[in-house]
Amino acid sequence: MLDKTAKQNWHPYRGLPQRAFWKNMARQHPLAIDFLYQKKFSIDADTKIASAGSCFAQHVGRALRQSGFNYLDYEPAPSLLPEAERSRFGYGMFSARYGNVYTARQLRQLFARAFGKFKPVDEFWEAGGRFFDPYRPTIEEGGFSSLDELRAMRDHHLKQVRKLFKDVDLFVFTLGLTETWLNKNDGAAYQICPGTTAGQFDPDNHVFENASFVSVLRDMETFIIKFRAVNPDVKMLLTVSPVPLAATATPHHVLTATSYSKATLRAVAGYLAEKYECVDYFPSYEIVSSHPFHGFFFERDLRNVNDKGVDFVMSHFFGEHKLKAAKPRTSIKKVRKSDEDVWCDEKVLERYA
Amino acid sequence: MKVYVTGDSHTRAYRAALDRAPRENVDCIMLGSGTHTKRVFFKRVGSIVTFSEPSYIEAWNTLSGRDDILPHPGEALGLVMGLHSAPNFRSRDWAKFAPATMPGVSNKAPISAAVQDAIARRGGGYTRQFVEELVTAWRHGGGRDVPPIFILSAPPPYRDHAIIRRAKAPPAVVVEAHRRFNASATQFFTELGVTVIGYPQSVHDDEGFLLPEYREGIDPLDPHHANSRFAGLMLDELERRVAAL
């Protein structure tokens, strides 16, 4: 029991751990900063893990796969397809061939489409006799050879995504953007603005939306509720991509637009992790982007995350989630984690700079 | 015109065909296993191309009495390599994947035509580069536009192949894998200006499988070779093409 004097002097900041004080962190070498992540639940070698999200999520998925975790791939490439060509066809980037899922709206929509609850009116784009899936327009470089082929590939893809959502134990989702292009008719969210990688921009049918906190939260909560309805024990690990916007369609500077986007996504991820037992948050955004790290982990373009950054981020993850006698699950050789190995559709916007 | 025929293990059938029925101006030797084509097995210096794989050097020297490979005046070269589709069509991938628009294979993971083409491009090891170097050397040496080099196709898959019988790959998928590979390689060599001699339609059935008579005398466990009868037909066509030069 505290005596009277002690009681008078006590307040909530006394006895807090070292990590609670900025001053302590500021004295450390950036690479020595620790306790940035404390896991909420455990992952073991049998935990079936799947990932989706923005470009940065590819690094996370790859690191999990190479570290012996049970990382799912429900649309693997044929072994005959050379490894160097796989990313051109969207293989091995994520747990299925959905390509980059940048926004909460896209994720919610992917789930709805996989379970037959939403069928967008904008079914395909055609150009020069080639056919593009508007919701993953770069999944086949140069498009599909016919509409029949696009439909067959899409139906199989959605079937595998449905299976993935039902089977997975831990779903890792990296929130990337708030800026979204929607179809005015049914609200379908595109992966990227029509006309930039494929398709044709049509101001009568395509509309821009910069999602608010409320909007992102609504999309994520809808997704979580529906997801747990088909997979009651599933857990989620949310991250926010540290990769800045390649371009903004708002009237603001891309720096402030990035700040808005990341702040919104970070706030939603934090809120969800506080609210739901099944949701954890992993601070990859802070580890790469916060100023105590002096931008060490960015490439010269101040956008792409370098190998050291990815390794440092994942070291915090693996520090909390250690596997006993971790063995690689696949024979995939360790590959470079450089920018060329990560397919980022949004990067195409740099062409218009 | 003197015709040298040489190449991978499919060449054995050509040797047998010539042993059975010699042809005055045609001589043949197997270089060795096609496995060596997975690495660079040749080198070019200016207009001289030679093998760098020791077993190939020895075999070629036995056949031609020299190291350089390009046909000399009055010679033609028949290469039994480059259209060896077996490493592609016998992959276990075809028990799991199928062309997206192929009917009757909905239980397989679909792959697009572009992916099939990318797979087809991959096969053949360094044989495409080898022929490319031969053509480059030919032109470097002031040769005519079209070198007297002919690529002889390997046979199509046979119906009872283990990839179908044991691995349960759909027959149509296996034939399609072979067809894509051949089409891709044929286009590549043709664009180089090299003549590709495909097998005649008479050697396969309606599905595209090699007829049993062209496997007679071959060990049933042999994964992809045809017999000397098949080679004889190919030599007939080769001689016709050479005569037309």
What are the residue ranges spanned by the domains of chain B?
2-243
Structure tokens at A279: 């949701």
DSSP state of B158: B
- Nearest chain B residue to A152 by CA: give it: B100
Q: What is the pLDDT of residue A330?
A: 46
- Nearest chain B residue to A78 by CA: give it: B93
From B88, B100, B122, residue closest to A149, measured CB to CB: B100
CA distance A315 to A35: 11
DSSP string, B187-218: HHHHHHTPEEEPPPGGGB-TTSPBPGGGTTTS
State pLDDT tens for residues A322-331. 887 655 444 4
Percent of the residues in chain B that have a pLDDT greater than 90, as a whole number: 85
For chain A, list the strands marked E by DSSP: 48-53, 70-71, 125-127, 130-132, 170-175, 179-183, 206-210, 235-240, 279-281
Residue A332: pLDDT band with limits 50, 70, 90: very low
CA distance B27 to B24: 8
Q: What domains are there in chain A, each with its CATH number?
A: 41-113+156-192+204-352 (3.40.50.1110)
Interface test with B, best of A79, A80, A88, A163 (most B CBs within 10 A): A80
Percent of the residues in chain A that have a pLDDT greater than 70, as a whole number: 94
Q: Which residues lie across from B1 on neighbouring strands?
A: none
CA angle B48/B54/B59 to nearest 5° reads 80
Q: What is the pLDDT of residue A344?
A: 77
Q: What is the pLDDT of residue A261?
A: 98
State pLDDT tens for residues B112-156. 999 999 998 888 889 999 999 999 999 988 876 778 999 999 999
User: What is the number of CB-based contacts under 8 A between chain A and chain B?
Assistant: 56
A149 neighbourhood in chain B, CB within 8 Å: 100-101, 110, 112-113
DSSP string, A96-112: SS-----SHHHHHHHHH
Q: Would you call A146 and B119 a contact, using CB atoms and an 8 Å cutoff?
A: no
How close does chain A come to B100, measured CA to CA in Å? Answer: 6
* CB-CB neighbours of A290 under 10 Å: 16
CA dihedral A153, A158, A159, A164 (to 10 degrees): 130
CA distance B160 to B183: 23
* CB-CB neighbours of B146 under 10 Å: 13
Q: What is the pLDDT of residue B142?
A: 81
CATH superfamily of B2-243: SGNH hydrolase (3.40.50.1110)
Compute the half-sphere exposure of residue B50: CA atoms within 13 Å on the CB side of its CA: 13
For B77, list phi and psi in degrees, rounded to 5: -125, 125
State pLDDT tens for residues A192-228. 999 999 999 999 999 999 999 999 999 999 999 999 9
Contacts of B149 (CB under 8 A, 6+ apart): B71, B76, B77, B79, B131, B134, B135, B138, B194, B195
Q: Enumerate chain B positions whose Cβ falls within 8 A of a Cβ in A.
A: 88, 91-93, 96-97, 100-101, 109-115, 118-119, 122
State pLDDT tens for residues A16-60. 999 999 999 999 999 999 999 999 999 999 999 999 999 888 888
CA distance B169 to B108: 10
3-state secondary structure of A155: helix
From B93, B109, B113, residue closest to A149, measured CB to CB: B113
B113 neighbourhood in chain A, CB within 8 Å: 144-145, 149
Q: Would you call A82 and B110 a contact, using CB atoms and an 8 Å cutoff?
A: no
The pLDDT of residue B29 is above 70: yes
Rounded mean pLDDT, A314-324: 91
Structure tokens at A115: 């379970």
